[in-house]
Structure 1
Amino acid sequence: MEKRIAECINILGRFCGKRDVENLLVSELKNKYQLEQADVMVLFGGSIMCGGDVLATAMKNNVAKKYVIVGGAGHTTEALRIKVHEKFPDIITDGLTEAEIFESYIQYRYRLHADLLECNSTNCGNNITYLLDLLRKNNIAFHSIILAQDATMQHRMEAGMRKYVTDARIINFATYQANVVANNGQLYYENDILGMWDMERYVSLLMGEIPRLSDDADGYGPNGKNYIAHVEIPLEVKMAFAELKATYGNMVREANPLYA
């Protein structure tokens, strides 16, 4: 039973946590997209702490011309504040937005700075619209953009971008890849991931994504709330979600109007 639950969680995790390249390296961008660099890379502040390491590594690898961190205060912000400060007490996170936290993080650990911060958005929808406004205000045009978000929300972030941008290459790179395994009746992460959600929260976030990604009356697609472009959800994902809902029915994260 637990092995099947772990398998279902991983099916949702792979679907939600898209990565279009294995690593953020210039060589991989060249091989797959014939790009020397992406025009822009964006880290979204809904990510867990390891997103800062992903951004710093990308900056060191020179994969983009401009680097942006996006995120005001939303449903994941307080958890990020607590975890970053607990791990790195010299980083004072109280009252900071997600973008400011990650900027402090990469400055503290890597002596790096993003080119731009967007500190007012509160959800995946205005993460995108405020980002696009910021790029326009700073006269940054782009034909290619790397999106790095928490693995639970990566697919929705891409769908949000596709709603507004149809003439640019969107490259997904979820900030982590978690593999859940079952052992002695318990669920565990196979690999250590800095700042990772506890299992219950991870499952809740993943399960909350499937109704949001759905293109029906209750979903976020064009036939619903029209927050995102159409997403095709494979049957395997729908079946895994249904099985998890039978086990964790009360754990589907409900939308908060402020931080949907």
Structure 2
Amino acid sequence: MNKSTEENLNILSTFCGKRDIAVLEKNQLQKNYSIDQADVLVLFGGSIISGGDVMAKAMKNNLAKKYIIVGGYGHTTDGLRKEIQKHLPNALPVDQLSEAELFNEYLKLLYGFQADYLETKSTNCGNNITYLLELLKNEAIPFSSIILIQDAAMQLRMDATLRKFAADATIINYAAYKATIQSDAGKLIYTENIKGMWPINRYISLLMGEIPRLTDDKHGYGPNGSGYLAHVDIPKDVSRAFLELKQAFPDAVRVANPAFSSADMNG
């Protein structure tokens, strides 16, 4: 028997929005990884604006030795710029700032924090990682443990991308938010109030676009496809949810925008 649309969307949301620790606190790192601090924490600019609040909490709790924001310009940038203007009306001209710079301004003006390093050239999940690793190498920053904060729709793919290029690292995922969807009088709505959250149709498109990318076949981004990612297992309930959602939303799967691709990566 088919599940409801909201049940299927929540299955995809939980699968993509990976969190390896319950909260951003040192006791969680100690409990799960036997460390008090990660070597590096990274916020990716593809996140909605609440990712900045999540990073600020991690910084307040001293969860890492180095803090980095990664993000140039991609398919999420315009949305972030609008949110920055909404929450920081006196910020610098947003059209001139990369995602990393926008988030850094947000941290400085709201929390008095700033990242140790910014990466401002990347355009997609793939070179988010390769440029991050290049920065770590160029700055001689050693790391064996790394916390990743990305938009929940793209968190699992970020993890799989880093696993391809830094297989020996301990990767600790903490998606920037946890969203659940419910039906209210036949309309899909969010259960929670999340700052800067995507319009629901946009979020559905992002979620549904991830499953073909993560599927390790000739059409996906895994080793049996484009080779951008390490292998990801797609549970049966996730595959079933995706197929049922394709019937409900046949045009919702987000395709990669070639404007943000690079020689060996896509969005």
**TM-score band w.r.t. shorter chain:** over 0.9
Unaligned runs of 5+ in 2: 261-266
Cα distance in structure 2, aligned partners of 1:207 and 1:91: 34
Following superposition of structure 1 onto structure 2, how do residues 83-122 of structure 1 map, counting pairs within 5 Å?
A: 83-92=83-92, 93-122=94-123
The CA deviation at 1:83 is: 1.4
Q: How far did residue 257 of structure 1 move?
A: 2.2
Structure 1 residue ranges without an equivalent (≥5): none
The TM-score, its normalising length taken from structure 1, stands at 0.98
Give the equivalent residue in structure 2 for 1:196. Answer: 197
Measured in 1, the distance between the counterparts of 2:124 and 2:29 equals 29
Alignment RMSD (CA, Å) = 1.3
Q: CA deviation at 1:94?
A: 1.9
- Which amino acid letter does the alignment assign opposite residue 109 of structure 1? L
Residue 258 of structure 1 deviates from its aligned partner by 3.1
The CA deviation at 1:251 is: 1.0
Corresponding residue number in structure 1 for 2:18: 18
Q: Residue 152 of structure 1: SS of its match in structure 2?
A: helix
Q: Residue type of the partner of 2:133?
A: L
| d(CA) in 1 for partners of 2:179, 2:96 | 29
Counterpart residue type for residue 178 of structure 1: A
SS in structure 2 at match of 1:41: strand
* 3-state secondary structure, aligned to 1:65: strand
User: Structure 2: which amino acid aligns with 1:237?
Assistant: V
Distance in 2 between the 1:19 and 1:155 partners? 9
One-letter code aligned to 1:140? I
Aligned AA for 2:27?
Answer: S
Amino acid at match of 1:49: I
The residue aligned with 1:236 is 237
Looking at structure 1, the residues matched to 87 and 185 of structure 2 have their Cα atoms a distance apart, in angstroms, of 30
SS of alignment partner, residue 105 of structure 2: helix
> Could you list the per-position Cα deviations for residues 221-254 of structure 1 after superposition, in whole angstroms to 9, with x for gaps in the alignment?
0010000000000010000001111011101101
What CA distance in whole angstroms lies between the structure 2 residues aligned with 1:16 and 1:91?
32
> Aligned equivalents of 1:184 and 1:106: distance in 2?
38
Question: Could you tell me which amino acid in structure 2 is paired with residue 172 of structure 1?
Answer: N
1:49-68 Cα deviation digits (max 9, x unpaired)? 00000000000000000000
Q: Distance in 1 between matches of 2:258 and 2:145?
A: 31
- Note if 1:214 corresponds to 2:210: no
What letter corresponds to residue 31 of structure 1 in structure 2? K
- d(CA) in 2 for partners of 1:147 and 1:195? 19
Letter in 2 for 1:10: N
What is aligned with 1:38? Answer: 38
Structure 2 counterpart of 1:60: 60
Displacement of 1:158 in angstroms is 0.2
2:247 matched residue in structure 1: 246
The residue aligned with 1:181 is 182
Residue number in structure 2 paired with 1:125: 126
1:84 deviation in Å?
Answer: 1.4
Which digits, 9 at most, give the CA deviation of each residue in 1:191-215, with x for residues without a partner? 1100000000000000000000011
The answer for the alignment partner of 1:164 in structure 2 is 165
Shift of 1:86: 1.7
- How far is 1:150 from its partner? 0.1
Q: CA deviation at 1:88?
A: 2.0
- SS across alignment from 1:250: coil
Q: How does 1:69-80 map to 2 (within 5 A)?
A: 69-80=69-80
- C-alpha displacement of 1:183: 1.3
Secondary structure class of the residue paired with 1:67: strand
Aligned position for 2:263: none
Distance in 2 separating the partners of 1:250 and 1:167: 38
Instruction: Write the deviation string for residues 3-58 of structure 1: whole angstroms up to 9, x where unpaired.
Output: 81011110000000000001110011001110010000000000000000000000
Letter in 1 for 2:203: Y
Give, as a single letter, the amino acid of the residue that structure 2 aligns with 1:138: E
Runs of 4+ in 1 over 4 A off after TM superposition: none
